[in-house]
Amino acid sequence: MVQTQVQLLCPECSKEWQSKPGELPASQRLFHCPNCYNSRRLNEFLRTERDLQTLQQLQ
């Protein structure tokens, strides 16, 4: 079984990383970039629509 992760990209510093949906807040909650500490809603960090769907399905 493939471990599902979502792809994240900071719109401010362009840091790219992956995270498990269970370790992230809901998509409308504020999230802080671990690199530049920019605060945005989590859905602005998700790279694709599919990542948003994955997140919402697994939370």
Binding site for Zn ion (CB under 5 A): 10, 12-13, 15, 33, 35-36, 38
Backbone phi, psi, residue 9, to 5°: -145, 125
Q: How far is the CB of 1 from Zn ion (least distance, A)?
A: 31
Contacts of residue 52, defined as CB under 8 A and 6 or more positions apart, other chains included, come to 27, 43, 46
Write down the least CB distance from residue 11 to Zn ion, Å.
Answer: 8
Shortest CB 51 distance to Zn ion, Å? 17
Query: Strand, helix or coil at 6?
Result: strand
